[in-house]
């Protein structure tokens, strides 16, 4: 099977991420795609000698890429709605599928580009244009294909969400929160596109086209940014039981489709209210599924590259001559499935003990002899519920992570203490953090 040969226009963070992901996970991607995916050519108006091109040929002329005979599919990562649109158009006219992360191009010129792609019978994929690493485009067009979508609402601009989170957590005003976002690289020197809602409106126009068949209508999206939100409003909203989030909302009504981007008060118990920092989330309400939420990194080189490469995998599968490989190929060499004894977790221990001096110390000694550290504890925990009638008190401990084998032994030892008057309860603790 011939490899799928990719030409990349642009050499910024996302393009570098695509080169890295395709190299790092080459074998795994080949199995899922049914063929190798190889970047043969990269072009950028600015040379970046520090970037490892992983064997691709570099050119300073991006117009080289669409028609180049070594390129089967074009990845457009220049951005903006000028030259980039010409490149996409020209690749489609050459009969080549295109993958792009360019929300402005699709939101503003999507109807025309789609028409060209359909006429040429090639794919135009843009999973990376909305919500970075979250597969929201595929979910709308495939995973939720059985549904009439009633409405959707999303935090689709990480910069605005980072600024609002900063104002909410630290009481900072808009200007300081923006400055912090700029210092950390989450906001541009000219932040207008992000903080005035234009970027979010581009993305909402794309979601609308897919969810409601409106066509790509950036011009019809009502847009308000976050620059007029004050710490006072955030605090009053909090007292009333709300958080302020910058949302893109689109809704099907009898009269037509509403599409609007604006700061919004959301009940503080809602999952969307708890999406913080630069993270994105899209809530989709379908007539069969009800509410479904998709959450993840909305920007950044690797998450966005993940979406670009997913689009390439789809094209590689669809453009093979033979039947595509199964979506879940049989394992070549299955990894071992480990027994529970091999797992490591922090643990919550509840130890029903006689209420007398030294019990906690004896328990702590047994743990420390096995190198088990205590993360937190409730000594002589205030009796609650049914336990208030008992002559004993519970000792409650959360440990640092420890191997299953070790905690099993430790619990057996604690259980054997004469001070312990009931069964020791052990429940695993997981922080589910990124690392």
Per annotation, catalytic residue among 96, 103, 203, 245: 203
Between 64 and 409, CB nearer to its own copies:
409
- In the complex, what is the shortest distance from the CB of residue 184 to its own copies, in angstroms, rounded to a whole number? 16
Q: Taking the CB of residue 86, how many other CB atoms lie within 10 A of it?
A: 15
Among 3, 12, 67, 143, binds its own copies (CB under 8 A): 143
For the window 298-337, what string marks contact with its own copies as x by the rule CB under 8 A? ----xx-xxxxxx--xx---x----xx-xxx-xxx-xxxx
β-bridge mates for residue 280, sequence order? 296
Q: Distance between CA 101 and CA 311 in Å, rounded?
A: 10
96 is catalytic: no
Does residue 103 contact residue 221 with C-beta atoms inside 8 Å? no
Q: Does 230 bind its own copies (CB under 8 A)?
A: yes
- In the complex, what is the shortest distance from the CB of residue 264 to its own copies, in angstroms, rounded to a whole number? 5
Query: Would you state the structure tokens that stand for residue 239, as one six-digit string?
Result: 């007292």
Q: Does 222 bind its own copies (CB under 8 A)?
A: yes
Q: Which of residues 25-84 bind its own copies (CB under 8 A)?
A: 25, 28-29, 32-33
- b/e 227-266 (16+ beta carbons within 10 angstroms → b): bebebeebeebeeeebbbbbbbbbbbeeeebbbbbebbbb
Going through 166-218 in order, the beta strands assigned E by DSSP cover none
Q: Does 292 bind its own copies (CB under 8 A)?
A: yes
Among 343, 354, 412, 416, binds its own copies (CB under 8 A): 343
DSSP string over 366-385: HHHHTTPPEEEEETTPPP-G
Q: Distance between CA 349 and CA 363 in Å, rounded?
A: 11
- Binding segment toward its own copies, per CB under 8 A, in 53-61, 92-100, 191-199, 281-289: 281-289
Q: Does 376 bind its own copies (CB under 8 A)?
A: yes
Among 272, 299, 367, 414, binds its own copies (CB under 8 A): 272
Among 96, 113, 252, 372, binds its own copies (CB under 8 A): 252
- In the complex, what is the shortest distance from the CB of residue 80 to its own copies, in angstroms, rounded to a whole number? 22
The answer for residues whose C-beta is within 8 angstroms of residue 335's C-beta and 6 or more apart is none
Q: Does 425 bind its own copies (CB under 8 A)?
A: yes
Among 267, 354, 369, 412, binds its own copies (CB under 8 A): 267
How far does CA 203 lie from the centroid of its chain? 15
Catalytic machinery residues: 203
């Amino acid at each position: 099977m011939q490899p799928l040969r990719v030409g990349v226009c642009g050499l910024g963070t996302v393009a570098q991420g695509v080169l890295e992901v395709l190299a790092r996970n080459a074998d795994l991607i080949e199995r899922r795609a049914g063929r190798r995916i190889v970047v043969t050519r990269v072009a950028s108006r600015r040379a970046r000698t520090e970037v490892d091109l992983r064997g691709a040929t570099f050119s300073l002329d991006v117009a080289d890429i669409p028609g180049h005979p070594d390129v089967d599919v074009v990845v457009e990562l220049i951005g903006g709605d000028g030259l980039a649109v010409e490149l996409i158009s020209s690749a489609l006219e050459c009969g080549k599928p295109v993958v792009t992360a360019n929300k402005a191009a699709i939101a503003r010129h999507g109807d025309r580009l789609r028409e060209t792609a359909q006429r040429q019978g090639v794919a135009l994929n843009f999973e990376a244009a909305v919500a970075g690493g979250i597969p929201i485009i595929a979910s709308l067009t495939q995973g939720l294909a059985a549904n009439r979508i009633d409405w959707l609402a999303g935090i689709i601009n990480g910069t605005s969400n980072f600024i609002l989170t900063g104002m909410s957590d630290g009481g900072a005003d808009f200007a300081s929160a923006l400055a912090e976002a700029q210092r950390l690289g989450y906001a541009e020197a000219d932040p207008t596109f992000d903080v005035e809602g234009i970027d979010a409106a581009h993305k909402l126009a794309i979601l609308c086209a897919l969810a409601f068949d409106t066509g790509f209508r950036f011009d019809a999206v009502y847009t308000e940014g976050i620059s007029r939100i004050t710490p006072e409003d955030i605090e009053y909203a909090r007292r009333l039981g709300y958080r302020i989030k910058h949302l893109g909302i689109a809704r099907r009504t009898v009269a037509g489709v509403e599409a609007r981007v604006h700061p919004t008060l959301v009940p503080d118990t809602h999952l969307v209210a708890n999406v913080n920092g630069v993270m994105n989330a899209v809530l989709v309400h379908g007539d069969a599924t009800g509410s479904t939420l998709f959450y993840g990194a909305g920007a950044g080189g690797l998450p966005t590259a993940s979406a670009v490469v997913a689009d390439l995998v789809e094209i590689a599968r669809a453009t093979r001559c033979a039947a595509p490989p199964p979506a879940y190929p049989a394992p070549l060499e299955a990894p071992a499935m480990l027994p529970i004894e091999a797992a490591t977790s922090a643990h919550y221990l509840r130890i029903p003990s006689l209420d007398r001096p030294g019990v906690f110390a004896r328990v702590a000694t047994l743990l420390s002899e096995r190198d088990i550290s205590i993360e937190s504890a409730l000594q002589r925990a205030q009796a609650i519920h049914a336990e208030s009638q008992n002559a004993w008190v519970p000792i409650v401990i959360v440990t640092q992570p420890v191997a299953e084998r070790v905690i099993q032994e430790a619990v057996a030892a604690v259980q054997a203490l004469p001070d312990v008057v009931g069964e020791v309860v052990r429940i695993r603790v997981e922080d589910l953090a990124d690392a």
